[in-house]
Amino acid sequence: DIQMTQSPSSLSASVGDRVTITCRASQSISSYLNWYQQKPGKAPKLLIYAASSLQSGVPSRFSGSGSGTDFTLTISSLQPEDFATYYCQQSYSTPGTFGQGTRLEIK
């Protein structure tokens, strides 16, 4: 199975900050990488697919980049509603493994 490792596991930031979350795959997955946001008690929400494509309806302050084994999710200017947990997921091969999550908290 492909292992997905996110860093950091948790992060404290302030409204207006620029934030970057990293996801590393244990082998090359080309651009088969998705990002999700999850708020407490809610289902995950798709933010980014194919490493850098913004899902319809997602604010443009979210962006993704990378290919191969190293990927990043960037939030350009944090808004109050962005405090949540973020997961990467590879869709290169089954099982479609997720990273362990990055919890983004208010500083």
Residues engaged in binding other proteins (CB under 8 A): 1, 30-34, 36, 38, 43-46, 49-50, 53, 55, 87, 89-92, 94-101
CB of 5 to other proteins, least distance (A): 12
CB of 68 to other proteins, least distance (A): 14
Query: CB count, 10 Å around CB of 71?
Result: 27
Whose tokens are 């199975």? That residue is 1
C-alpha dihedral sign at 9, 45, 55, 50 = positive
Between 77 and 105, name the residue whose CB sits nearer to other proteins.
105
CB of 62 to other proteins, least distance (A): 14
Spatial separation of the C-alpha atoms in residues 62 and 20, rounded to whole Å? 10
